Amino acid sequence: MNFVSADPRGVDAGPHFMDGDHALAEGALAAGCRFFAGYPITPSTEAAERFAERAPEVGALFIQMEDELASIAALIGAAWGGKKVMTVTCGPGFSLMVENIGLAVMTETPLVIANVQRGGPSTGLPTLTAQQDMMQAKWGPHGDNAIIALSPDSPQECFDLAIEAFNLSEFYRVPVIILTDETVGHMHEKVVIPPADQIQVVPRNNYSGPKEDFRPYKFDGQGGHPMTQAGDGYNFHITGLVHDERGYPVMTPEQGKTVVTHLMEKINGNADKIVRLAEDQVDGADVVVVSYGITSRIAVKAIQDARNEGIKVGSLRLITIWPFCETRIRELAGKVKAIVVPEINYGQMVLEVERCAAGKCEVISVNHCGGAVHDPEVILDAIRKASK
């Protein structure tokens, strides 16, 4: 990736005391996001409000659309108009966005969506936390596709990962989803925003060659391909149909294989460059707790108590959710007695852990359906049982 320093206009440098939702907006502005279309929905609305408040200061545009369908459609249009773009939502709104997430995948449109998860299904628990949209983020759109998803565990990481989300989205030209949750979104903590010259962002890779040679697509399973913006005199086509390198429909099985293989490979084939994990005392552990988001912070108490009891337990936190850290889980499964997976749903990411562990170790799910975080004692009990 090629990086440049952030635009100082979007960087409110210094220490702040803010919640995760506000930090998402600040991270987006620092990353160069200059277009935000959204529809208010608890518990994500504060991010939209923050962006709307700051937009005039930095030359950005905020539009409250009539619903989530229109919001993400506006993002796709604005991205092809040359802007870095973002929206925020939660479960019911995310469900409405799913069809156009598929369109963004197919048209290789860079955009960032923050899903501040709340309890579901349907309108569920608007003001209470959950982690129930993990699988929907990956499998929501129909057809084979690959996206990137990140999961912050603090307001500081909401800021940091918002920048990373934009960088990944720009390079791989793919929707990147920030899967945070109500607790992190409404949690107030210290957030330190660095000066602009210390924030590295991936700029839009604008094509600069002869107009007749421009191709909006290259099906090589890699990222880094240039775009141009509508209205600059380039002739190309944007469609959700299987297409050629100019974007024009070519609806044959052979072209379908070419396009879809590229869409999958540019993410899955580069997983080792995309996946980020945070590990603590994993080497030599009998038990590893695999967690993400707010649950990883609850797990810290259980892990510390288990260590005080003499149990060799490590922590592996998923910062990148999708693509999944398959290689690392396979490595650990052959070395530990058990992997414990706490999450605020009825068992989603644990299915990925079980798949990758492939029976080499016990996998214990510690789940509940949302509305509150775990009691650390429940996770501790699972660690105790796993260590025997």
CA–CA separation, 54 and 76 (whole Å) = 22
Cα–Cα distance, 348 to 272 (Å, whole number): 22
In degrees rounded to 5, what are phi and psi of residue 204? -60, 130
> What are the tokens at 195?
């000066």
Query: 149 has which bridge partners?
Result: 177, 322
List Cα–Cα distances, 226 to 15, 133, 151, 172, 206, in angstroms: 36, 32, 28, 10, 5
State residue 235's pLDDT score. 87
CATH number of the domain to which 69 belongs: 3.40.50.970
Q: Which residues form the domain of 283?
A: 277-387
What whole-number distance in Å separates Cα of residue 337 and Cα of residue 202?
42
Q: Which residues of the chain have pLDDT under 50?
A: none
Q: Is residue 256 part of a domain?
A: no
The single-letter DSSP state of residue 196 is G
- Co-location of 31 and 117 in the same domain: yes
Could you tell me the pTM of the whole model?
0.97
Would 287 be classed as within a structural domain? yes
Q: Is the CB of residue 112 less than 8 Å from the CB of residue 166?
A: yes
| Domain closes at, from 201, 218, 250 | 201
Q: Would residue 251 count as lying in a domain?
A: no
Alpha-carbon distance of 244 to 271, in angstroms, equals 25
In a domain, 206, yes or no: no
Q: Does a structural domain hold residue 226?
A: no
User: Using the 8-state DSSP alphabet, how is residue 203 labeled?
Assistant: P
Q: Which of 158, 178, 201 is the last residue of a domain?
A: 201
Tokens of 210: 């002869």
User: Is the distance from CB of 148 to CB of 110 less than 8 angstroms?
Assistant: no
Contact yes or no for 132/370 (Cβ under 8 A):
yes
CB 176 within 8 A of CB 168: yes
Q: How far is it, in rounded angstroms, from Cα 144 to Cα 165? A: 21
Same domain membership, residue 58 and residue 154: yes
Are residues 85 and 79 in contact, defined by beta-carbon separation less than 8 angstroms?
A: yes
Domain boundary, last residue among 201, 221, 245: 201
Answer positive or negative: Cα dihedral of 375, 380, 381, 383: positive
192 and 79: one domain? yes
Q: Cα–Cα–Cα angle for 214, 216, 222, nearest 5°?
A: 115
Which residue's entry shows tokens 């040679």?
A: 213
Place of tokens 């396979």: 330
Identify whether 318 is part of a domain: yes
Residues 193 and 70 in one domain: yes
Q: What angle do CA 185, 189, 195 make, to 5 degrees?
A: 100
Same domain, 191 and 320: no
Please confirm whether the linkage preceding 121 is cis (ω < 30° from 0).
Answer: yes
Helix (H, G, I), strand (E, B) or coil at 342: strand
Q: How many CB atoms lie within 10 A of CB 247?
A: 18
The confidence score (pLDDT) of residue 1 equals: 85
pLDDT at 386: 97
Assess whether 157 and 289 both reside in one domain: no
Instruction: Supply the CATH number for residue 324's domain.
Output: 3.40.50.920
349: CB partners within 8 A, 6+ apart: 134, 290, 292, 318, 321, 324, 341, 343
Q: Is residue 215 part of a domain?
A: no
Indicate if 71 and 179 belong to the same structural domain.
yes
Within a domain: 181: yes
**Nearest alpha carbon to residue 349 among 323, 373, 372, 378:** 323
Q: Does one domain contain both 150 and 297?
A: no
Give me the phi and psi of 112, to 5 degrees please: -120, 130
Dist CA 96 CA 103 (whole Å): 13
pLDDT tens digits, one per residue of 354-381: 999 999 999 999 999 999 999 999 999 9
* CA distance linking residue 174 with residue 183, whole number of Å: 27
**Domain count within the chain:** 2
pLDDT at 56: 97
